[in-house]
């Protein structure tokens, strides 16, 4: 690399090359942003009932996480909004019958992958909990299949343990949409006609505007929020 004033290392500086897997991920991110028409809708919903359901499931012996319960709702809503479940390649939109749900997994070295739970829509909650744990574990041990790495039709990325309420997740191209899950925190909310403190979750849906218009994307997010709130 030619040394210029912009990339010369000074005393105490560290140079990190975008090579190997990190370079490949960086290339895919740039390709996604430069070849798709990405737009993000944001929403908030009352997740108090979702968190209560997660606690009840754990008391019953099913060690489900918040993400597991949320995946269950997402699968239900995706089945009612098939226009967001698919891919766009070479000007052809493929709407998938199967819901192959990608889940973003952070790896050592500040790396990120999003393997798919294949045919997640046909599973019970218990089966999906086990399947998510399995793909996460195999992602961390580099044992994923090519189909799991490339066969996703919709992805979820979760920053729920951070202080980030909303963000703009980058599409896992060629998929049509990705759901970003933000912080869940106590906030003022109107519940049963009264202002009270409820556990409010931030959601961000990025979609490819070439294949999905703003209204159906907004309806998907609205229906998802409604379904989450009906758990309470």
Structure tokens at 182: 């933000």
191 catalytically annotated: no
Helical packing angle, 66-80 and 48-59, nearest 10°: 120
CB 17 within 8 A of CB 23: yes
Burial (Cβ within 10 Å: 0-12, 13-18, ≥19) of residue 207:
buried
Q: How close are the terminal C-alpha atoms of the chain, in Å?
A: 58
d(CA 228, CA 206): 19
Structure tokens at 72: 């269950």
| 67 half-sphere exposure, CB direction, 13 A CA radius | 24
Out of 41, 42, 166, 209, the active site residue is 209
CB 62 within 8 A of CB 125: yes
Handedness of CA 71, 73, 76, 77 (dihedral sign): negative
Q: List the Cα angle 53/59/63 in 5-degree steps.
A: 80
Structure tokens at 149: 């790495």
SS3 state at 143: coil
Catalytic machinery residues = 209
């Amino acid at each position: 690399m030619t040394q210029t004033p912009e990339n010369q290392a000074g005393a105490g500086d560290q140079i990190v090359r975008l090579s190997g897997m990190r370079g490949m991920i960086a290339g895919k991110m740039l390709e996604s942003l430069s070849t798709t028409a990405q737009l993000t809708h944001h929403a908030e919903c009352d997740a108090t009932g979702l968190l209560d359901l997660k606690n009840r499931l754990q008391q019953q012996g099913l060690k489900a996480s918040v993400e597991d319960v949320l995946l269950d709702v997402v699968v239900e809503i995706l089945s009612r909004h098939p226009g967001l479940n698919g891919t766009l390649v070479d000007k052809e939109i493929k709407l998938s019958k199967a819901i192959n749900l990608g889940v973003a997994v952070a790896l050592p070295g500040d790396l990120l992958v999003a393997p798919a739970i294949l045919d997640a829509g046909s599973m019970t909650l218990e089966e999906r909990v086990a399947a998510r744990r399995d793909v996460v574990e195999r992602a961390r041990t580099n044992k994923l299949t090519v189909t799991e790495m490339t066969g996703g039709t919709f992805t979820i990325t979760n920053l729920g343990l951070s202080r980030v309420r909303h963000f703009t997740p980058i599409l896992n191209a060629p998929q049509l949409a990705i759901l970003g899950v933000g912080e869940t925190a106590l906030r003022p909310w109107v519940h049963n006609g009264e202002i009270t403190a409820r556990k409010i979750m931030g959601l961000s849906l990025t979609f490819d505007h070439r294949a999905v218009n703003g209204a159906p994307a907004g309806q998907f997010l609205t229906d998802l929020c409604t379904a989450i709130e009906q758990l309470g």
